[in-house]
Amino acid sequence: MKKTKLIYLISAALFCVAMTSCDRKSMTNSNTDSTKTIADSENKARHASLVGMPNPWTDTNAAEAEKTAGFTLGIPEGATDIIYRILKSEKLVEMDFRLYGERWTARTKPAADTEDISGMYFKWSYDSATDTALLPLPGKERRAESSGKHILSALWFDKENSRVYSLSVSASEKQPLSPAKTIFGPALKK
């Protein structure tokens, strides 16, 4: 009889431990689910202001980009997948293209002074004057590394034409700025 009571008590204790363990697991899942639900709600609220907001960029073609820029954006030899966009409010023309296996972005717009139109915001490890042999204009070259990528951004200011130019790339290896001469050269021949 004592053995039966002892087995009964041990079984009851194990059952209680098992039930408590299951209850804690469901409580943990419940807390995790409610935390996830709160985080999801906060994310939705944070991004709700962007829903319905129109994209300020307009996809366009080479002719419209040329008309807005006032010159033909030269296409570097070997460039593919060329996409033109215009930010009409700024008269900012953008040409994205693939070259050397990387995605590049060239931009230009009217400007009264040097301004960063690259759209790249990094803590630059190199920030200095750029080689004026590429474009006979004062410029700035900036480099950084992020997530194993080499980030390059170059800016030039054309005081005579009141225009700023930008060329940027995020690449797996360091890239030359040489495409700038082909892309923006036509603007400087006027």
| Cβ contacts of 178 within 8 Å, gap of 6 or more | 76, 134
What is the average pLDDT across 69-90? 95
The pLDDT confidence band at residue 113, using thresholds 50, 70 and 90, is confident
Q: What is residue 168's predicted lDDT score, i.e. its pLDDT?
A: 95
In whole angstroms, give the CA distance from residue 50 to residue 164.
Answer: 29
59 near 169, Cβ under 8 Å? no
Domain extents in the chain:
1-53, 58-188
In whole angstroms, give the CA distance from residue 122 to residue 146.
Answer: 8
In whole angstroms, give the CA distance from residue 59 to residue 104.
Answer: 16
In whole angstroms, give the CA distance from residue 168 to residue 140.
Answer: 12
| Cβ contacts of 24 within 8 Å, gap of 6 or more | none
Q: What is residue 143's predicted lDDT score, i.e. its pLDDT?
A: 92
60 near 86, Cβ under 8 Å? yes
Q: Which two tokens stand for residue 87?
A: 């930010």
The DSSP secondary-structure symbol of 72 reads: P
In whole angstroms, give the CA distance from residue 40 to residue 32.
Answer: 12
19-72, pLDDT tens digit by residue? 555 544 444 444 445 444 554 555 555 555 556 678 889 999 999 999 999 999
147-174, pLDDT tens digit by residue? 888 999 999 999 999 999 999 999 888 8
Q: What is residue 132's predicted lDDT score, i.e. its pLDDT?
A: 74
The pLDDT confidence band at residue 8, using thresholds 50, 70 and 90, is low
* 149 closest CA partner among 127, 114, 120: 120
What is the average pLDDT across 7-23? 55
Above 60 in pLDDT, residue 142? yes
Confidence (pTM): 0.70
Query: CATH topology for 58-188?
Result: Protein Transport Mog1p; Chain A (3.40.1000)
In whole angstroms, give the CA distance from residue 120 to residue 94.
Answer: 14
